[in-house]
Structure 1
Amino acid sequence: MKERFKTKSAVFLLLKMNDKILMQKRMNTGFYDGYYDLTVSGHIEEYESITDAMIREAKEECNLDITKEDIELFTVIHTSMYNDLYYFFYFVMEIEENKDYHIRVNEENKIEELKWFDLDKLPELLGEHNKIAINNYKKGIRLSEIGW
């Protein structure tokens, strides 16, 4: 069996429709339980491109079939966590209202709900990295360094 999580990097997908974004409420993970997170997120496997990781995670977590043309990298966060340096790569995907994407949670034991939020009215329980990434998205900031 292939060992995962060998890299110190992760990808996140902001699913956007008009001025709303889809978020998931985490549970039973021991990490940010009860907090909202971007709908798709996960570690990059060894020798995997960031785009391929995003496509794989979208399929694994939400049964969402996407292509490279569907997503756009909008910001990168460079941070220090657990005495290691991490890079978080954030992508955005515009969802058309009239298209049926069949978004569903494939990790029912980890995700309590999926919910749409206005970009300007985000939930209070939102992790620091996601707050920064969403702010970067709204302001067009490409790179942030935090946690030093």
Structure 2
Amino acid sequence: MTDRFRVIPASYVLLLREGTGGTEVLLQLRANTGFMDGHWAAAAAGHVEAGESAVAAAAREAVEELGIVVAAADLVPLTAVHRTRGNGNPIDERVDFFFTCRRWTGDPYPAEPDRSAGLDWFALDALPAATVPHERAVLDALRAGRTDAVRTHGFG
């Protein structure tokens, strides 16, 4: 018999728009979160709460972090990432659900300013060097048109 671990689910919303240089994604500069501060990340992302679906979590995070409303029908599943930090700590075993979104209501702004050092749009082929690694892998795959239904990150 093998040991089982529990995974922590999270939902990510990749807001996309067409810019002069092609497809752009809205990223948020992390600050005061305790994880990857100083790195750019999906503008809206967070844990799925008990009794909540991954889709509902994505829509909720868009309101909480960006002050915008996203309809569930406008959240397009992109990929799921099963990731680990390889340290055996249960909090570092994750499953992340990534959604793209091209339509929302409102103008995005840092709705949790104490946890953000800003928002900016980046062309998919000109992402900042300091992007959260597992998110960078998803964005690079999106740019290349090679997103798998399920990806892994951090496993040997």
Both structures adopt the same fold (TM-score exceeding 0.5): yes
- Please name the residue that 1:8 is paired with: 8
Question: 1:7·1:43 contact (CA, 8 Å) conserved in 2?
Answer: no
* Residue 92 in structure 1 maps to residue 100 in structure 2: yes
Q: Name the SS of the counterpart of 2:148 in structure 1.
A: coil
- Please name the residue that 2:111 is paired with: 106
Q: CA RMSD in A?
A: 1.8
Question: 2:67·2:106 contact (CA, 8 Å) conserved in 1?
Answer: no
Which portions of structure 1, spanning 4 or more consecutive aligned residues, are displaced by more than 4 angstroms? none
Separation of aligned partners in 2, 1:24 and 1:51: 20
- Please name the residue that 1:3 is paired with: none
1:65 corresponds, among 63, 69, 75, to 69
- Please name the residue that 2:53 is paired with: 49
Separation of aligned partners in 2, 1:58 and 1:64: 6
Question: Which blocks of at least 5 consecutive residues in structure 2 are unaligned?
Answer: 1-5
Separation of aligned partners in 1, 2:115 and 2:105: 24
Q: Name the SS of the counterpart of 1:79 in structure 2.
A: strand
Equivalences for 1:14-33 in 2 at 5 Å? 14-18=14-18, 19-33=23-37
Q: Name the SS of the counterpart of 1:109 in structure 2.
A: helix
Q: Name the SS of the counterpart of 1:136 in structure 2.
A: helix
* Residue 146 in structure 1 maps to residue 146 in structure 2: no
Question: 1:21·1:118 contact (CA, 8 Å) conserved in 2?
Answer: yes
Question: Which blocks of at least 5 consecutive residues in structure 1 are unaligned?
Answer: 1-5
TM-score by length of 1: 0.87
What is the Cα deviation at residue 100 of structure 1? 6.6
Deviations 1:84-134 (A, max 9, x none): 331000000014xxx873211111011011111110010000111111111
Percent identity reads 27
Change (3 A) 1:8 1:100: closer
What is the Cα deviation at residue 10 of structure 1? 0.6
TM-score by length of 2: 0.83
Deviates further, 114-123 or 138-147: 138-147
